[in-house]
Chains A and B, each alone.
Chain A
Amino acid sequence: QSVLTQPPSASGAPGQRVTISCSGSSSNIGGNFVSWYQEVPGTAPTLLIYRNNQRPSGVPDRFSGSKSGTSASLAISGLRSEDEADFYCAAWDDSLSGWVFGGGTKLTVL
């Protein structure tokens, strides 16, 4: 069971907006930055969002992140078929002195 909680699945039609939630505690999300990763099966994860809401260069502005208290969310607007992937949230955990991940959310573009 993962320390961070994500819904196992999410879906939306092309062009729609989807939000994926990530719930944690004061020792991880509540006190540290949240990052989000996209993983296409068979390939390594790639960084989508860092420091809660920052996008690395090359990541489209259709992807946005936010954090409030001990929860965070990833929003994807203007859904495209190529967005189909697994998405993971992550944060440093001060109690564990290590990184913790969510269980992952499989996004399906209908």
Chain B
Amino acid sequence: QLQLVESGGGVVQPGRSLRLSCAASGFTFSSYAIHWVRQPPGKGLEWVTIISYDGTYKHYADSVKGRFTISRDNSKNTLYLQMSSLRPEDTAMYYCARPTSGWYKDAFDIWGQGTMVTVSS
């Protein structure tokens, strides 16, 4: 079964750090670029970042550039999102998502169930 499972969310104070994980199963993880997409409570979807299949290409939304770092460990079939200098506006459900063909411009056909991050003092 094709699956992505996020973990690591929680409540964190502004300015602190948090690391999210996304465990993949049921497909050849090392062949696919993977994205992080977030959704603030009651709001729409926002693309956050992408990493290429081999980790050599990474790109970030301006809203998180310089604060978030995406990485992957293909030996563990796991994607990570290191979030630092967190702000209240980073509060959101965070999803990892796989593009249909592995190509970064292709649609997201597999989504995780999401992990909630709340930034609050």
Contact = CB atoms under 8 A, between A and B. Distances in A.
Interface residues of B, number: 23
Interface of A is mostly: strand
Interface string B96-121: 00001000111111011110000000
B61 A50 contact: no
A103 B111 CA distance: 19
B100 A50 contact: yes
Q: Nearest 3 A-B pairs (CB), nearest first? A: A35-B107, A50-B107, A99-B47
Given A37-B45, A90-B47, A97-B59, 13 more contacts: A2-B44, A33-B105, A44-B95, A45-B111, A46-B111, A47-B107, A88-B45, A90-B108, A98-B59, A98-B61, A99-B50, A101-B46, A104-B45
Interface of B: 35, 37, 44-47, 50, 59-62, 95, 100, 104-109, 111-114
